[in-house]
A and B are shown apart, each in its own frame.
Chain A
Amino acid sequence: MNMTPLIDVTFQLIIFFMLVSNIIGQEAVPMKVPQLTDPQTRQLGESDRVVVNVIPNDDAASTPWVQVGLTRLRSTDRAAINEALTEAVSNNANVQVVLRADGSLNYQQVRPIITAIRDAGVSIVHLVAQDAPGSPGNPESPANADGSGEGGTP
């Protein structure tokens, strides 16, 4: 039996998964996203997305970091954040913006980033929370039931 095509395909799959897992790891910075009671979260479909991470600083009093895609910036550097967001959004009109913020941050620290996303021309933002244990995307939630992809919004 000629095993060459099988090995070729398997290698391609391994390379694919290695690359994808690297990208996921780099974009989704390790942090404690909010853990909600009975989360109504859903899984975002396969589409182009920009992940915006708001990362708490080790020194709690300091300003958090903001990572737009793979670019890490100071949250005080509004101009750079706006520029990075505008660039990410302008390249693809259908891009979805995902906001990952650590649950320990204050709303005061997250809100400027939401404002910056809005200022970049984005009208819908996806807020990341922990899924319910053992519930992949909570498909029974009302946010998923209508299939509109709008969560708790029209």
Chain B
Amino acid sequence: MSGHTYDQATLAKRFASRRAAKRKSPVMRLNLTAMIDVIFLLLVYFVVTANFATGEGVLTTNLPSKSAGDFAIDAPPVMPLRVYLYAGDNAQASGDDGYKIRVVGQTDQPQTISQLATTLEQLSKHMNTADPVIIQPVGQVKWEHVLGAFNAAVKAKFQNVQFGEQTQ
């Protein structure tokens, strides 16, 4: 037996002081505020950049089946409206970037893509917009102009716009 003896009151006092010490001891806690701030900033950054990544749209066209011939239209119900685009070297370039436009059957030929849009809009009032429109590049015409002519036909509400076979 040990020489120390404690009475009940002393023991109770000691246990009580230990419990109080335990209650007061600091608890380890991770402060997440800074991390959450950074995460939200990253989230906002990626959401914003993903939305404004492209800024591009599409123009849709049909590609004729292989059996229908190279860029020929499938059994056209009427004569298609042909829009020729010439490169600067092939004709007297009058466009703003060395191209010339010829709409078959028109006396007043458009000089620019904007004028082509106006011409096609006037034509569409007297034509069936389901009739095919063939964009026919000749020589080294820039893709930008070819797509511009395509866009002009779509703007004029033509529903069947295709690319013709390129000729030299």
Could you tell me which A residues sit within 8 Å of B by CB distance?
3, 6-7, 10-11, 13-14, 17-18, 20-21, 24-25, 28, 33-44, 98, 100-111, 114-115, 117-119, 122-131, 137-138, 141-143, 149-154
Q: Are A127's CB and B70's CB within 8 A?
A: no
Question: Nearest chain-A residue to B138 (Cβ)?
Answer: A107
Q: Are B143's CB and A39's CB within 8 A?
A: no
Q: Are B59's CB and A17's CB within 8 A?
A: no
The verdict on A153 contacting B160 (CB below 8 Å), with A21-B49, A143-B154 known, is yes
Which residue from B32, B60, B113, B160 sits with its C-beta under 8 Å from A37?
A: B113
**B150 within 8 Å of A by Cβ?**
yes
Q: Are A129's CB and B50's CB within 8 A?
A: no
With contacts defined as CB atoms under 8 Å apart, how many contacts are there between chain A and chain B in the complex?
190
Q: Are B56's CB and A130's CB within 8 A?
A: yes
Q: Are B61's CB and A138's CB within 8 A?
A: no
Q: Mark B114-144, 1 if CB is under 8 A from A, else 0.
A: 1001000000000000100000010011111
Top 9 A-B residue pairs of the complex, sorted by shortest distance between their CB atoms? A41-B57, A151-B60, A17-B46, A152-B154, A103-B144, A126-B58, A34-B144, A152-B161, A118-B63
The verdict on A118 contacting B166 (CB below 8 Å), with A17-B43, A33-B56, A151-B58 known, is no
Q: What is the CB-to-nearest-CB distance from A19 to chain B, in angstroms, rounded to a whole number?
A: 10
The verdict on A14 contacting B43 (CB below 8 Å), with A119-B66, A127-B61, A153-B62 known, is yes
Question: Nearest chain-A residue to B35 (Cβ)?
Answer: A7
Q: Are A17's CB and B58's CB within 8 A?
A: no
Main secondary structure of the interface of B (DSSP, over half): mixed
Q: Which A residues touch B90, using CB under 8 A? A: none
Question: Nearest chain-A residue to B87 (Cβ)?
Answer: A106
Could you tell me which B residues sit within 8 Å of A by CB distance?
32, 35-36, 39-40, 42-43, 46-47, 49-50, 53-66, 70, 85, 87, 113-114, 117, 130, 137, 140-144, 146-148, 150-151, 153-155, 157-163, 166
28 A-B pairs with C-beta separation under 8 A: A3-B32, A7-B35, A10-B39, A13-B46, A14-B46, A17-B43, A18-B46, A21-B46, A28-B54, A37-B151, A41-B151, A103-B147, A104-B143, A106-B143, A111-B166, A114-B63, A118-B63, A125-B60, A126-B59, A127-B147, A128-B57, A137-B57, A141-B154, A142-B155, A152-B60, A152-B150, A152-B161, A154-B159
